[in-house]
Structure 1
Amino acid sequence: MSEQQSPVQPKPIADDEIDLLALVKTMWNGRRTIIISVISGAILGVAVALLSPKEYTASTVMVPQMGDSQSKMGGLGGLAALAGISLDINPGAELSPMIYPQITGSIPFQLEMMDTPLNFQDHSQPITLFEYYTKYSKSSVLGSIKKYTIGLPGVIIGAIKGKPEELRLPGDSTKQPILLTKDQYTVKKALDEIVSLEVNAKEGYLTLSTRMPEALVSAQLAKKAQDLLQQYITEFKIKKAEANLDFILGRYTETKAEFEKAQVSLAIVSDRNKNFTSGLSQIETDRIQTRYTIAFTVFQDLAKQLEQAKIQVKMDTPVFTIIEPVTVPAERSKPKKAMIVTIWIFLGGIIGVGFVFGKEFMKEVKKRWNETA
């Protein structure tokens, strides 16, 4: 009698194992919810893409002057030495490019940026950046929605605190610390967002970029920021050399007048005493000659120092090599509508799937709760 084989029992699934078939079935059963969530995400994505304000980014790439001035100007220093001029080359005056972002974010820099005239399409005459943000700039629909949803707690807190008192500096404001008005502070915060300077220390170049609602305006603002940055760095580097040049130039002018005066006096005395050989006339001539010689020596020395100071100013003046000049952007940088819609569709799908599995999980929890009750 043959043995009767018992049917093979399926291997039970452990509690901690994931049943992929069950997951797929759960998603299929909740497909209506997932589809609605995806469609809702797509609609929200389209709305966000259409309501987001346009932005155009203009940028420029620069390479600042780096390295030791002595190695760069060695040939010029040798030629100057042949002429009796000693160049005081001070590499310690170098300003690190890592400090440049601090310059573009400084209050004096931004106050000058606020006065930049810009040509907006809606205005026949140029208006300044300060006027644009304080008189003409309007919050977008999306910005208003964010303000009264995500930013609602801040609005409520601000309403409770009330408006801060307007401070005023006593006496002569030129000798007081900088005090920004409320409007200036508002524009400053906007500049912190729309103007950026990135330093690539590895490659040794700078990328200055600006973002504005119009292409031409963005390019104009970037050009102003580039010129102003070069001006600030130049003023910093040549400040000491220019002060020295001004001092020497003043002394040179005074000494030149004294030398010319001594020169005229010597000529007059020489002509007057030409036919006289007395001791008194000779003493007078020698005295004027000595005065002339001293004046000439001092004048000649100051002339050398003046040339030295002029060369030093040129040596200290930084040079920026513009790799990529500022150009008017042809395409907007924001919003990237396709990316926004794709992200919102993905988020809608994630939320829909999460809701379906969350609902099943709560059913299972409720079922087990009832079984143990």
Structure 2
Amino acid sequence: MEENKHYTNPDHQPNPAEDDEELQIDWMGILRQVLTIRKTLYKAAGVGLILGILIALGTPKQYTVSITLSPEMGSGKSGSGLASMAASFLGGSVGADSPDALNATLAPDIVASTPFLLELFNARVISQDKQIDTTFTAYLDEQKSSWIGYVLKAPSMAIGGIKSLLTDEEKEDTATVQKGAIELNEEDAIKLEGLRKQITVEADKKTGITTLSVTLQDPKVTATMADTVVSKLQQYITTYRTSKAKEDCQYLEMLYKERQQEYYAAQQRYARYVDANSNVVFQSTMAERERLQNDMNLAYQVYSQVAQQLQVARAKVQEEKPVFAVVEPAVVPLYPSGTSRKVIAVGFIFLAVALTGAWMLLGKPYWLKLKEGLSQKD
């Protein structure tokens, strides 16, 4: 009886081959289903082709120009460069520089700032076909927009038109600055948002390599604006870095002229007193002469020290100017950037066929089963 407890019927043992057959995909069955709906897929491909062509033709061409910069900023160490050379030659010294508040890694934030972008509006641009010769802000009004953009903007444009009819307020033509605050009209605000997407800057914090990219619809205008942005960025950083040194230099210039006048005046007083009392040997006369000579020598020492500091400050202005090595200059592109029209058309065909096939093979049967189950419950 104990042997019967461990007895198993061979007819009921699991068959691994049956489990493998259940996991296998019936590719032939799927192929037969696809063949049965091939006409629907052909129609979907046609619809995708038409939609892809419409979108491809309605999307204006875009051209991208990239410029690579390698900024060589100040070393930040004391006793380096022209200022230290001038100080050592003149017997002065240069104190340690304070850390820079502005460096190459802030280039993306500088270019995206509102004051910087507003300065680009007055830049002069000429299209490649020479038909457009105007300011950059006027060129932005000439750029084409895709029909999808017009469709998406239609509600907001309609609401804006209704508001303009109901209100009698006149819009300002240009941006205004009041007590440091910039007040933009709606048109300029839209342009600035678009420029922040069309003008991008990437800075490598380790190497300092800065890459600036500009994307517009005309290749010549794109290259021109890329070069303009780089020039203004260099000017902006240079102005910031040299502003403190220039202020110090202007102050020393004023101080130098004052000390010079004081020295000349002391020198004249001493010379006049000596000429008037050249034959007098009284002790009081000698004491006054010595006092005037000491005043002249002291004025000369102060004058000489200020002159040395002025020379060092002048050298400091030149030293603080950053040097930008243009690794890759602006080149007028020959071909548009972005996705080509052929790829857009093929992509829409594939998307239409894939979605239609997924619906016909998977979505529709489950949907019918769900409706049938709901109707049986009712």
Query: Taking structure 1 as the reference length, what is the TM-score of the superposition?
Result: 0.81
Q: Which residue of 2 aligns with 1:144?
A: 147
1:318 equivalent among 308, 315, 322: 322
1:277-328, Cα deviation, whole Å (9 max, x unpaired): 4445434433432222122111101011112212222232222121111222
1:337 equivalent among 341, 347, 351: 341
1:201-245, Cα deviation, whole Å (9 max, x unpaired): 344311111112111111111111111111211222222222111
CA distance in 2, matches of 1:275, 1:368: 134
1:249-286, Cα deviation, whole Å (9 max, x unpaired): 11111212222333344334434444444445434433
Q: What is the correspondence of 1:22-37 to structure 2 with a 5 Å cutoff?
A: 22-37=29-44
How much has 1:175 moved relative to structure 2?
2.5
How much has 1:122 moved relative to structure 2?
6.6
How much has 1:360 moved relative to structure 2?
4.1
Q: Which residue of 2 aligns with 1:132?
A: 139
Q: Which residue of 1 aligns with 2:364?
A: 359
1:304 aligns with 2:308: yes
Identity of aligned residues (%): 28
1:139-159, Cα deviation, whole Å (9 max, x unpaired): 43xx333432x4556556656
* Pair 123,79 (structure 1): closer, same or farther in 2 beyond 3 Å: closer
How much has 1:88 moved relative to structure 2?
2.1
CA distance in 2, matches of 1:126, 1:284: 76
Partner of 1:192, secondary structure, is: helix
Letter in 1 for 2:249: L
Q: Which residue of 1 aligns with 2:241?
A: 237
1:20-42, Cα deviation, whole Å (9 max, x unpaired): 22211111111111122223222
Letter in 2 for 1:194: Q
Does the 8 Å contact 1:69/1:315 carry over to 2?
Answer: no
* Residue segments in structure 1 that go unaligned for 5+ positions in a row: 1-9
CA distance in 2, matches of 1:187, 1:76: 44
* Pair 138,228 (structure 1): closer, same or farther in 2 beyond 3 Å: closer
Q: Which residue of 2 aligns with 1:101?
A: 108
Does the 8 Å contact 1:56/1:329 carry over to 2?
Answer: yes
CA distance in 1, matches of 2:85, 2:311: 14
How much has 1:97 moved relative to structure 2?
3.0
CA distance in 1, matches of 2:163, 2:22: 56
Q: Which residue of 2 aligns with 1:62?
A: 69
Partner of 1:87, secondary structure, is: coil
1:89 aligns with 2:93: no
* Pair 359,306 (structure 1): closer, same or farther in 2 beyond 3 Å: same
CA distance in 2, matches of 1:275, 1:86: 45
Moved more, 255-264 or 53-62: 255-264
Q: Which residue of 2 aligns with 1:7?
A: none
Does the 8 Å contact 2:128/2:219 carry over to 1?
Answer: no
CA distance in 2, matches of 1:302, 1:262: 17
CA distance in 1, matches of 2:322, 2:295: 43
CA distance in 1, matches of 2:123, 2:194: 14
Moved more, 262-271 or 82-91: 262-271
Does the 8 Å contact 1:88/1:312 carry over to 2?
Answer: no
1:184-213, Cα deviation, whole Å (9 max, x unpaired): 212212211211111123443111111121
Moved more, 193-202 or 159-168: 159-168
1:313-349, Cα deviation, whole Å (9 max, x unpaired): 2232222121111222222214522322232222122
Q: Which residue of 2 aligns with 1:42?
A: 49
Letter in 1 for 2:63: Y
* Pair 194,369 (structure 1): closer, same or farther in 2 beyond 3 Å: closer
Q: Which residue of 1 aligns with 2:124?
A: 117
CA distance in 2, matches of 1:294, 1:25: 108
CA distance in 1, matches of 2:358, 2:131: 54
Letter in 2 for 1:37: A
Letter in 2 for 1:235: T
Q: Which residue of 1 aligns with 2:256?
A: 252
CA distance in 2, matches of 1:278, 1:363: 130
Q: CA RMSD in A?
A: 3.4
CA distance in 2, matches of 1:275, 1:266: 15
Partner of 1:185, secondary structure, is: helix
CA distance in 1, matches of 2:125, 2:233: 18
How much has 1:16 moved relative to structure 2?
7.6
CA distance in 1, matches of 2:96, 2:320: 9
Aligned length: 356
Tell me: higher relative CO, structure 1 or 2? Use CA pairs within 8 A at least 6 residues apart.
Answer: 1
How much has 1:109 moved relative to structure 2?
0.6
CA distance in 2, matches of 1:211, 1:328: 12
